[in-house]
Chain A
Amino acid sequence: MPPASLNVTYSGRKGPMLGLALKTGFLTIVTLGIYRFWAKTRLRRYYWSAIRPGGIPLEYVGDPLEKLLGFLVAVVFMAFYIGVVNLILMYVSFALLNGNVAAYLLSFAGLAPIIFFAQYRARRYILARTRWRGIRFGLEPGAWGYAWRAMVHWGLAILTVGLAWPLTTLWLEKYRTNHTYYGDLRFVQGGRRGMLFASMKHIYYPLGLSAIAGGMAAAFENPAWIAVFVLTVPWLVYGLAYWRADSFKRLTEAKQLGEMRFRTAPRPWTIVGIYALGWLLIYLVFTGLMIVIAGVVLAAVGGTGFDFENPEQFEPVMTAIAPTVVIVYFAIFLGYRAMTHAWITLPIAAHFAEVTRIVNAGDLHQITQRDRDEFAEAEGFAEALDVGAAI
């Protein structure tokens, strides 16, 4: 019988992740994007296997070819939808509304149900290809049910200028979780309607304060109000991290899997710290590279006796360095992505994993396997729309 309480350990490390992200990113670029199915699979294998509840790693068993196939399936349908719908929306927006902004909004509104549909299907694929202790996870079909609910709840959130966002989050999480299985056992998301509003308090307070301070600063020219207004910005940053940590805690601790419960305690300041450090490192790397490149360019220019007074020389020089510019563009893109993986995504995942525990796990051994979800389309729609999971 397994122990009653299982801690989650995390074995991912920044160095190997940086290497893996750089390698797969490079291959993706040189294959004009085709390798991205392999790249995503490999990164997922790493991220999944790093999370080890009770010492046993999660396993991602998705197959890149399966993802490629799913993408092709999605393209056959989506190309029609995107091509025709985009064109008609553009026509309608200019014929009736005389504006381009309207076209974007309309185009998004037309795509929104498809995006939610695709996200749910992607989640179904990912869960179907995730295992722990040899047992598959799974998500029941229900993508259209999710899509219309998401439309309604997002509509509500937009109408209330985001104030109802905690409710939207909870409702959609309930739908997703209540359709999620581990083996033959279904997850249940508990929690009352008001549960997540308190998680937003450090967003509501600074927003309210900045509104007041902004109004006062506009009405009376007192610099103190401007200072208050400026000070709400770091508070809001903390508020976002607090929302992330606290909403995760409340949602996770209200989840049930049979008799099993979950305990977690992510720390907002740790989240702020990870982002601050990650961005600082990325900034330092890029600044360092800029200095080195500038040095090399100056040395090269000095060596060839380039004449700055003579504009005739610029054109051939521009032609000569064009390939370099393209390479630099790709290198920046690639480096930024890899560094984000290694210095932000991975440490954040590590923090959330390490503060989480499974309790009442005594009946774990009674959970039995579920059937394989073949799902030929994989996460093709999300891939095509580029709205899949970030990993």
Chain B
Amino acid sequence: MTDSPAPPAVFADFVGGDRAVLTRVSVRLSAEGLDLSPPDGKTLIWPWAELRAEPDQADTETLVISRSGDRLSRLYLRDKNVQAQLRTRAPHLKRRDRAISIPRLMAWAGGAAASVTAIIFVLVPMMAAQLAVMLPPEGEKALGDTTFEQIRMALDETGLVGTPICEAPAGNAAMQAMYDRLNPASDLPYEVQIHILDHDMVNAFALPGGRIVFFRGLIEQAETPEEIAAVLAHEIGHVVNRDPTRDALRSAGSLGVLGLLFGDFAGGTIALFLANQLINASYSQSAEATADDYAHDLLDRAGVSPAALGTMFERLLAEHGDAEGIVAHFMSHPQMGKRIAAAQAAVVDGRQYGSVLGASEWRALQSVCGDAPKGQQDPDLPEKKPWPGSD
């Protein structure tokens, strides 16, 4: 400091990190940096480039200064002038010195990713598949009961009462008649229970323990009872293969692991749901194909054209478009085109297929949720859309 008069020394508290002693040091600014002189020792010089200020301090009056490379020493600087000088002259005041090596971090990140991937995509599905077959029917039923109530709650917009079940006796009897006609009892360890929920969604699914759920949307969308029968046969296929049970067990495992990863950064629910959906969908494609094959057989044995399944898919396709690419991952029924073709190929040449329900039963099924059947469904008119392959 030759060109300007040296500022008078100020005093500050200093800790050296060997004993819990507070030392009053005099602080002087020099060309090299801070000169710290304890009353009874030799002066320390902290170079400008090595000065660091501790961030996020509550006390804005005091600047807590440390020196790069010295983990323990701290200077508690209260003088406003010196603080201002430091802010302009110390070039790396805000830099943080890293103690962790990036390669080591990367190695563990890789390990964590590999371990999570192996567990979610290999270990948990394998165990779920094994345990699903071992689970006794009563256990499966209990699992299904719980899931059913959860789904009803989740689908209800108010989240209070649960989506209503369509109770009309005639409609439910028609559904039961359809089931009896398909007659898959020999493949199942328990009775199948079919529920129709009063909801717009064009969908149906199976739950553990032999519960099959239809949405009103799907029944309204279908133009013939055979289409419903085809979907029913497909869902029975899932029940026979224990797919829902496997699914429930698997998501119990993988949801826990995903919860681990995301923490609670935002309640976590949305991220968890999306991630689990992704895993679910990519996993169940082969299960869908197996259920389709089962449905073709069951329909054929019951004298209903397997092509009905294809017709139902075509209708969904027209409604939603084929989901491929990234969208396909979020839909659990991807690649409709292939499955339509498979359904049509399952039609046995030369066989006569009949209808699965009488006109009045069909009407009852369509109004199971209390609505009148759609106008164009007049049963006196000839069917607009003959089954491909049945003529």
Assess A76 versus B17: contact at CB under 8 Å? Given A63-B99, A83-B257, A94-B139.
no
Question: Which of A16, A72, A131, A326 lies in contact with B58, CB distance below 8 A?
Answer: A16
Whether B352 sits at the interface, judged by CB under 8 Å, is: no
Q: Does B128 contact A369, Cβ atoms closer than 8 Å?
A: no
A330 at the interface (CB under 8 A from B): yes
Tell me whether A32 and B270 are in contact (CB under 8 A).
no
A75 touches B58 (CB 8 A): no
Task: Give the docked Cα–Cα distance between A329 and B262 (Å).
Answer: 17
Task: Name the one of A56, A75, A384, A385 contacting B115, with C-beta atoms under 8 angstroms.
Answer: A75
Chain A nearest CB from B152 CB (Å) reads: 15
Chain A residues within an 8 Å CB radius of B105: 65, 68-69, 72
Write out the residue numbers on chain B whose beta carbons fall within 8 Å of the beta carbon of A182: 20
- B54 to A59, Cβ gap below 8 A? yes
Is there an interface contact between B265 and A29, defined as CB atoms closer than 8 Å? yes
Contact with B along A317-336 (1 / 0, CB 8 A): 00000000010011001100
In the docked arrangement, what's the CA distance between A135 and B17, Å? Answer: 6
Q: Which residues of A contact B58 (CB under 8 A)?
A: 11-13, 16, 46-47, 49-50, 57
A73 interface hit (Cβ, 8 Å): yes
B81: interface (CB < 8 Å): no
Chain B contacts for A29, CB-based, 8 A: 265-266
Question: Would you call B15 and A333 a contact (CB within 8 A)?
Answer: no
Once the chains bind, are A42 and B111 in contact (CB under 8 Å)? Answer: no
Q: Contact: A133 with B20, CB < 8 Å?
A: yes
A42 to B109, CA, bound (A): 23
Of A85-93, A154-162, A298-306, which binds chain B?
A: A85-93
Q: Give A24-38 as 1s and 0s: 1 = Cβ < 8 Å from B's Cβ atoms.
A: 000011001100100
A32 touches B116 (CB 8 A): no
Contact A69 B104 (CB under 8 A): yes
Interface residue B76 (Cβ < 8 Å from any Cβ of A): yes
Instruction: Please report the C-alpha to C-alpha distance between residue A20 and residue B119 in the assembled complex, in whole angstroms.
Output: 37
Looking at B73, B248, B256, B267, which has the most chain A CB atoms within 10 Å of its CB? B256
Q: Which of B140-148, B331-339, B363-371 contacts A (4 or more CB under 8 A)?
A: B140-148
A369 pairs with B111, CB closer than 8 A: no
Q: By the criterion of a CB under 8 Å from any partner CB, how many residues of chain A are at the interface?
A: 73
Stretch at the interface among A95-103, A119-127, A194-202, A231-239: A95-103
Q: What's the Cα separation between A330 and B264 when bound, in Å? A: 12
B20 touches A383 (CB 8 A): no
Task: State whether A42 and B55 are in contact (beta carbons under 8 Å apart), knowing that A87-B127, A90-B249 are contacts in the complex.
Answer: yes
Considering only residues 24-66 of chain B, those with a C-beta below 8 Å from chain A are 54-62, 64
Does any Cβ of A come within 8 Å of B22's Cβ?
yes
In contact, B131 and A32 (Cβ under 8 angstroms): no
Task: Verify B109–A90 contact, CB threshold 8 A.
Answer: no
Q: A100 contacts B142, CB within 8 Å?
A: yes
Cβ contact within 8 Å between B100 and A65: yes
**Which of A205-213, A289-297, A359-367 lines the interface with chain B?**
A359-367
Q: Which of A49, A50, A135 contacts B20, CB < 8 Å?
A: A135
In the complex formed, the residue of A with least CB distance to B21 is A365
Contact between B20 and A59 (Cβ–Cβ < 8 Å)? no
- Check: B123 CB closer than 8 A to any chain A CB: yes
A-B contact count (CB 8 A): 211
Give Cα A183 to B18, complex, Å.
9
CB within 8 Å for A80 and B115 given contacts A94-B140, A135-B17, A365-B21: yes
Within 8 A of B (CB), among A166-186: 182-183
- Chain A minimum-CB-distance residue to B255: A86
Q: Are B59 and A52 in contact (CB under 8 A)?
A: yes
0 or 1 for each of A130-152: is its CB under 8 Å from B? (1 = yes): 01111100000000000000000
A76 contacts B54, CB within 8 Å?
no
A270 at interface, CB cutoff 8 A: no
Are the C-beta atoms of B139 and A75 separated by less than 8 Å?
no
> Would you call B326 an interface residue if the criterion is a C-beta within 8 Å of the partner chain's C-beta atoms?
no
Asked if B99 and A365 make an inter-chain contact with CB atoms under 8 angstroms apart, the answer reads no
- B53 vs chain A, min Cβ distance (A): 12
Task: Let me know if B100 and A69 touch, CB within 8 A.
Answer: yes
Interfacial chain B residues near A385, Cβ < 8 Å: 260
B216 proximity list for chain A (CB < 8 A): none
| Cβ–Cβ < 8 Å partners of A73 in chain B | 108, 112
**B19 nearest CB neighbor, chain A only:** A368
CB-CB contacts below 8 Å: B83-130 with A: 98-100, 104-105, 108-109, 111-112, 115-116, 119-120, 123-124, 127-128
Assuming the contacts A76-B108, A87-B253, A365-B19, asked whether A42 and B56 have C-beta atoms less than 8 A apart, the reply is: yes
The residues of B that contact A11 with a CB separation of less than 8 Å are 58-59, 61
Asked if A45 is an interface residue, CB under 8 A from chain B, the answer is yes
- Do A79 and B57 touch across chains, with their CB atoms under 8 A apart? no
* Residue A164 at the chain B interface, CB threshold 8 Å: no
Are the CB atoms of A86 and B260 closer together than 8 Å? no
A281: shortest Cβ distance to chain B, in Å?
Answer: 20
Bound complex: CA A16 to CA B20 (Å) = 30
Interface: B341 (CB within 8 A)? no
Tell me which residues from 351 to 378 in chain A have a Cβ below 8 Å from any Cβ of chain B. Answer: 364-369, 372
In the complex the two chains form, is A46's CB within 8 Å of B262's CB? no
From residue A325, how far is it (CB to closest CB) to chain B in Å?
Answer: 10
Contact of A98 among B54, B55, B56, B142 (CB under 8 A): B142
* Cα A65 to Cα B62 with chains together (Å): 26
Q: What residues of B have a CB within 8 angstroms of the CB of A134 in the complex? A: 15-18, 20, 72-74
Q: Which one of B57, B111, B124, B142 contacts A83 once the chains associate, using CB atoms below 8 Å?
A: B124
Residue of B nearest to A366 (CB): B19
Interface residues of A (CB under 8 A from B): 2, 11-13, 16, 20, 28-29, 32-33, 36, 42-43, 45-47, 49-50, 52, 56-57, 59, 61, 63, 65-66, 68-69, 72-73, 75-76, 78-80, 82-84, 86-88, 90-91, 94-96, 98-100, 103, 131-135, 182-183, 326, 329-330, 333-334, 364-369, 372, 383-386
13 contacts between A and B (CB under 8 A): A36-B265, A57-B58, A57-B76, A72-B111, A91-B134, A95-B136, A95-B139, A96-B139, A100-B142, A135-B15, A329-B267, A365-B20, A385-B260
The 7 A-B pairs of least Cβ separation, nearest first, read A134-B15, A33-B265, A50-B58, A87-B253, A98-B142, A94-B139, A45-B56
Known: A94-B143, A95-B134, A368-B19. 12 other contacts (CB 8 A): A32-B265, A33-B271, A50-B58, A59-B64, A69-B108, A76-B112, A83-B123, A87-B127, A90-B249, A91-B139, A95-B139, A135-B17
